[in-house]
Every structure is written in structure tokens, then in C-alpha cells.
Chains A and B, each alone.
Chain A
Amino acid sequence: MTDQARARAEAAALSRPAEEVLDLRKRTRVGESVIQGVLFLCGILSMFTTIGIVWVLIQQAWLFFGNPEVSIIEFLTGTQWTPEIGSFGAWPLITATLMTSLIGMLVAIPLGLAAAVYLSEYASERARSIIKPILEILAGVPTVVYGYFALSFITPLLRNIFGNNVVNIYNMAAAGIAMGILILPLIASLSEDALSAVPNSLRNASFGLGATKLETATRIVIPAAASGLAAAFIIGISRAVGETMIVALASGAGPNLTANPFDSAETITGHIARISGGDLSYGSIQYSSIFALGLLLFTITLILNILSRRLVARFREVYE
């Protein structure tokens, strides 16, 4: 009884002089709204970047394919890229891109995965705290430096091993190996994240059944982290396909349809860099051709990135 009465009295006391003492109703604050508007504009700016990229690439590619000399079928199936005589078959550039990326991944995936397994399953906390920053330094070296490294170290090394008449001065193998070293830390770090996300209960169960560390790693942890690892590899491939400076320096100038990794051949990115580095007149067919190639490159990397994110999302659903 007394409690109720007191509560009623308090409520009455509060409601009576409320307006004079303190207005607690929600006020509209102009400043807050302005700030929110500015923040929203900054957030939306990235949308304009994407729209800009897509618009520029499609508009110029449209001009390119609208040219009577060019057909989209020739672009996607032709085996000769010689803008000077009007043949625009993108295959030599595509195969060179695939070749350098393949070599890069052959270096980066096994080494990156092995490094990740060591870091996540074997290394002590102290070793990890030393090794990871060094890998970060390796990942932070500008790509043009790797291009220099490919040309001044890897190429001479390959020529010493396989002979000067076998290995061209500019060749896809050297570019691919340098690319592998560039992507290795990325794959190692993403794979390590995927491996460490596997719950310890799985490892302990495996140890409890008498498995060795290696057996646990290869039969339990790696399969459990498979989709995360696949996502890491795909990100790596996407980086390799879009990598420019290494191939521009080390893989040679001039499109060349070849399956020999010791030959020189120009990749999509290398071609764009070389053509645009010279005096390029706006509106020429060469100018719009690099945008068509850019659109191709953008599409490939976008598909790879979306695929990778899908895999990561699936991985999260399972373990979080």
C-alpha cells in the first residue's frame, strides 16, 4: 500500500513541473542531421567510383566494338593481336595472362599453404610474432621492385640453369615466379586465418584418437578449412591476373601466342601499360582497345572476387 502511494505521489510530482524544469522530449538537431548527411555522402562516394569504372569501360568498349574493323567474336576468339593492321584477337594476351598467373600460383599456393600450416599448427607464439611481420614486409614491397627483381635476378638465374638459347631475356617464367613470391605472403596470411578459425575441439578430438600433428593438420584441419583456403587461393589468382608491373618489366613486349613459359609474351595488363605509356591519341582505336581489354580484366577479377567472398561466407556459416 505505502509503496504504491509513494510511487503515485512521485509520478504526480514528476509530471507537474516537467515542462518548466527539463524538456526531455526528442529534439530535432540540425547539426546532427547535417553530419549524418555528410557521412552518408562519403559512404556513397564509393558507389560513384564503381559506376565511374563501369561506365568508362563500357562506353569505350562500346566505341571499340562499334568500329567496323572490330568484331566482338574476333576479340574473344581471334589469335592475333596486331592493332596496327586492325586485327584484335585477344587470345595471345589472355593465354599469356593465364600462363604467368598459373606459374605464379604454382609457386604461391604450395609454399603459401605450407607456410600457413606451419604458422597455425606448429609455430610457437613467439615464432609467429617474428615471422608474420617479415611476411608483411614481403607483402608491402612495391610491385615494381618485384619486376626489377624478376628481370635482374630470376631471369639470369633461369638462363644459367636452362641455357641462354632456351630462355628468352624477357620471359613469362621469370615474371610468374616473381609474381608467386609477391602473392605468397597474401596466400599465407589468408590461409592462416582460415586454419586458425577451425575450432580447437576438432584438433583435440583428433589428438585424442591418437593422430599425430601432421595427420590432424592434413586430415582434419585442412579439410575443415577447405572453403576458406579456396577463397584465399582465388583472391591470389585475382591478384595475379591483375598484376601489372612485374609482367610489364619482365615478361616482354609484344603479344605472342605461345605455350612455352621461357618465351616472351605480353599479358593483358602488360599490354595496357605499354600502350598507354606511349603517346596515345584520344579517340583512336588503340585508345578504345585498351578499355575493351580493361573491361575483360575487370570482369574476370570481379567474378573471382565474388566467388571468393561466397566461399568465405559459407565457411563463416559453418563455424561462427
Chain B
Amino acid sequence: MSADATNPQELTVGHLPEGAEVQQNIGQRRRTGRIWQGIFLASIVFSLLALLTLILDVANDAFGLVATESSVDVAEVTGGRELSALSQAELVTIIEANTSGRVQARLNREQPLAERSQEDLVGVIEIEVLKSSLVGVWPLWESLTQRPAIEAAVAEKNPRAQIVWRSWINPDFLTSPMSSVALNAGLRTAILGTLWVTILTALFAIPIGVFAAIYLEEYADQRTWYNKAIQTNINNLAGVPSIIYGMLGLAIFVRVFEPFTSGAIFGAGSGGDGTLNGRTVIAAAFTMALLILPIIIIASQEAIRAVPNSLRQGSYGLGATKWQTVQNIVLPQALPGILTGVILSISRAAGETAPLILVGASTFIVSDPSGPFSKFTVVPIQIYNWTSRPEQEFKDVAAAAIIVLLVLILIFNTSAVLLRNYFRSKRVSL
């Protein structure tokens, strides 16, 4: 602080407190200090509460009571017996007798009826034969506190409806393909899409990013104009909004490189439906790779910069070449830091939505992505779709998908921390 900050007028004109006044003055100032310390602490508490609220809000929608009503009576199709009491063969007969050929063909394509388990068939009958439909959904909190009221309201409006507990996140949700009915909506296609896109992104971005960081830290003369330009450029790219990368992906990877990204030059069809276009896994992966590249480069540069220079000098002194030094000395030392940055950027890619809207993740596909030239969707895109639908039951499905996404990202981030600690403990102490 410069000298003029200590106001000279105060020193000459103001009077210094004496006696009891001093105690009063100090007490006053300490009280103000304590009040503000409370305010500062409160904003930390607010952040923690925000995180807690977010998690509770998601959980509130992901579990709760649902009321379903079937338009066909169970007794009519089963001849008065309980569904669960019937054998597998009897269930198949019921399905074949009560559904159209088109529905049967679709079901058989997903998995032949004869090979399905008894539980699975009961589920199919409930949806396809009894045509169970949702008449109401309630969030967890209401379900716990106002169950009698909910039951009364349902009994009045839909006397045939059944009220059951439902966890929207369940094994079926993870393993079944997409559906336009909230009750059978599944996330399998999206999870596979996320895995495809994320793994390909990592394959492209990690080597290029780490190599670029090695170049900038170990080889480049930072005083030359072009190396300065590269560094400035990377810093600026890190601040470009993700949706802009989506526009780049749309214009370049989806359109200009269409013969490549659609797989046409390799004779591949996209998604098996014959419509060839560039809106494929590989176009998304290229876009995402460019998006996370600056993050990987900056994190790796920091890790490489932290390697002590004495190690490099020691290596040179023993006659190692530049690349031998990088390969055997610098990279192993910088690995924990690089890994942490890489994994964090991958988890960013897994949660990123906006660029993929532009690159054209399909909002509704039933077939799993089968390769880099397939049409695809990812978990965040499904969350976006389900959330933007007006029906509450789709919000609940979205909440379940959010839990899946958060768990996925938590696994990524935890593994980043664990790997870092593992390598730290293995590293020779300097």
C-alpha cells in the first residue's frame, strides 16, 4: 500500500482514543470483525448447502410413488390367474395372442420372446397387453409424508389404478433401450454412446495434448514469436464457450468431412438405417477432443514445469539426448500431474452437452452405437431431452439419468485422486 493510503488528515485532525474509550473502540472493531467473519463463513455454508440441495432435489424426483392403471383387466387375459403364477411358455402364449404382429416383431428383434426370463415377460405383458399407463407420479418427499392423501386422491379419480413405490433408477433403466413411454425409458443406448464418444475423445486428445505440452515446455523457445503465439492461443482457446466448438464441429466435422465422418469412404452405413450423414460418434469425438485439448495442454504444462531442472541436468550430464531425458526423466516425474489433468478433462467431456446438440446427437435412437460411424446419443443429451419435456414423469426419468451421470463423473474424479496418490507414493523422494 502506498503512503497516501494512510490518510494524513486523520493523523493530524483526528484524536487518539484514551482510557475507557480504547476498550470501547477495540471491542466495537472486534465485534464488527466477528460479524463479518460469520458472513464470510455463511457464504461457504451456502455453497455447501447448494450442493446438498441439488443432490436432494435430484433424489426427490428419482424415487417416489407412482400410480399405474391398465386399460385391460388382468383376469381377462390370464383367465383369472395371477401373472406371477404363470409359466414362461404360458406368458409367451398370452403375448402372442394379445399383440399385433408388428409389436411381436419389434419385441423379438430386441430379444426373442422364447429366450426371455419370466420376470421380463411379465413386464412386457404389463406394457404391451395390459397397456399399463401412468396416471400420477409423486416425488419422494410427498410420497413419504402424504401417502394417505395421495391414495385417497387416486382412489377417487382412478379407482382401478395401483399405487406402487418406484425407484426410477433401477437395473431395467440401465439396460433397456430408449422408449417414448416414461415407464420403460432406458439409458443403455445413451450410456454406450457416452462411453464410445468419451473413449474416442480420450484417444485423440490425450496423446496430442501431452505432446503439445512437452513441445511447449521442453523444446520451444518461449521467446520466439510463433511459440508465444501458440501459448497465447491455447490460453484463449481454454476460454472459448463450448457451444462455439459445437459450431466448429457442425461446420467442419459434420459437413466438410462428411465423407469421412459418415464412414462413407470406408463403406460403412451409419446406424444401419441407410441414412448416411456426418452426425456420428467420430464427429462428436473430434469436436470434444478439440474442446478438451487446451485443458489437457495447460494441466500437462503445469505438471512438466514442476519437474525440478536438476533432474534434467543430471540426465544430460550422463549423456542422454533430449528425447531420452523427456521420456525417462521428465514424463515419469510429471505423470501424476498429467494424469489428474487428463482425467478431469475427460470427466468434463463426459458431462458436456451443448456442443453435441450442434454436432447432432440423435435424440431418439433405439439401436446401440456399434462403431465410430454410428449415430449416437449421450447421457447428458438424454437428460436435456427428458428435462425439457413438460410431463413430470420424464423429469423423474431425467433425475435417474442425472444420478447415473454424476456417479460416472464421480468415478472418474475419484480415480484421478487415487491415481495421483498412488503415483506420489511410488515416486522416489527427491
Q: Which residues does A use to contact B, with CB under 8 Å?
A: 29, 31-32, 35-36, 38-40, 42-47, 49-50, 52-53, 56-57, 60, 110-112, 114-115, 117-119, 122, 131, 134-135, 137-138, 140-149, 151-153, 181, 184-185, 188, 202, 212-215, 219-220, 223-224, 235, 238, 241-245, 248-249, 269, 272-273, 276-277, 282, 290-291, 294, 297-298, 301-302, 304-306, 309
Contacts and interface: CB of A to CB of B under 8 A. Distances in A.
Given A134-B48, A273-B354, A32 B43 contact: no
A151 B386 CA distance: 12
A153 B61 CA distance: 11
Interface in B287-339: 290, 293-294, 297, 321-323
User: 8 tightest CB-CB pairs across the interface, nearest first?
Assistant: A242-B241, A142-B351, A118-B40, A39-B215, A42-B211, A114-B43, A244-B354, A305-B239
B39 A114 contact: yes
B32 interface: yes
Nearest to A135: B47
A294 B237 contact: no
Interface of B: 1, 5, 29-30, 32-33, 36-37, 39-44, 46-48, 50-51, 53-54, 57-58, 61, 207-209, 211-212, 214-216, 219-220, 229-230, 233-237, 239-248, 250-252, 255, 290, 293-294, 297, 321-323, 344, 347-348, 350-354, 357-358, 360, 363, 380, 383-384, 387-388, 395, 398-399, 402, 405-406, 409, 413
Contacts of A45: 208, 212, 293
Contacts of A238: 239
Contacts of A131: 44, 48
Contact of A153 (B40, B57, B252, B351): B57
Given A148-B387, A269-B243, A212 B33 contact: yes
Given A220-B1, A242-B244, A306-B236, 8 more contacts: A40-B219, A42-B207, A56-B247, A110-B43, A117-B40, A214-B29, A242-B241, A248-B354
Contact of B406 (A115, A145, A224, A290): A145
Contacts of B399: 148, 152
B244 A294 contact: yes
Contact of B248 (A29, A53, A276): A53
A40 B215 contact: yes
B242 A242 contact: yes
Contact of B230 (A46, A56, A145): A46
B227 to A, nearest CB: 8
Contact of B241 (A32, A138, A235, A244): A244
A145 B405 contact: yes
Contacts of B380: 142, 144, 245
B354 A49 contact: no
**Interface secondary structure of A, over-half rule:** helix
A151 B383 CA distance: 12
5 contacts: A46-B293, A110-B43, A141-B51, A298-B240, A305-B239
Contacts of B236: 50, 302, 305-306
B251 A145 contact: no
B354 A42 contact: no
A148 B235 contact: no
Contacts, number: 251
Nearest to B348: A140
A144 B39 contact: no
B239 A118 contact: no
A301 B240 contact: yes
A216 to B, nearest CB: 10
A276 B357 contact: yes
Given A238-B239, A244-B243, A152 B50 contact: no
Nearest to A300: B241
Nearest to A136: B413
A212 B383 CA distance: 49
Contacts of B209: 42
A294 B250 CA distance: 12
B323 A31 contact: yes
Contacts of A40: 215, 219
Contacts of B350: 142
A203 to B, nearest CB: 11
B210 to A, nearest CB: 8
Nearest to A34: B323
B239 A56 contact: no
A115 B384 contact: no
Contact of B323 (A32, A115, A144, A244): A32
B51 A49 contact: no
A148 B44 contact: no
A145 B399 CA distance: 9
Contact of B53 (A153, A245, A306): A153
B219 A276 contact: no
Nearest to A274: B357
A140 B216 contact: no
B385 to A, nearest CB: 9
Nearest to A283: B255
A298 B242 CA distance: 10
A177 to B, nearest CB: 10
Contacts of A220: 1
Given A32-B322, A148-B399, A212-B33, A38 B211 contact: yes
A212 B360 CA distance: 57
A160 B251 CA distance: 44
Nearest to A218: B36
B384 A248 contact: yes
Contacts of B235: 305, 309
A199 to B, nearest CB: 12
Contact of A242 (B243, B398, B402): B243
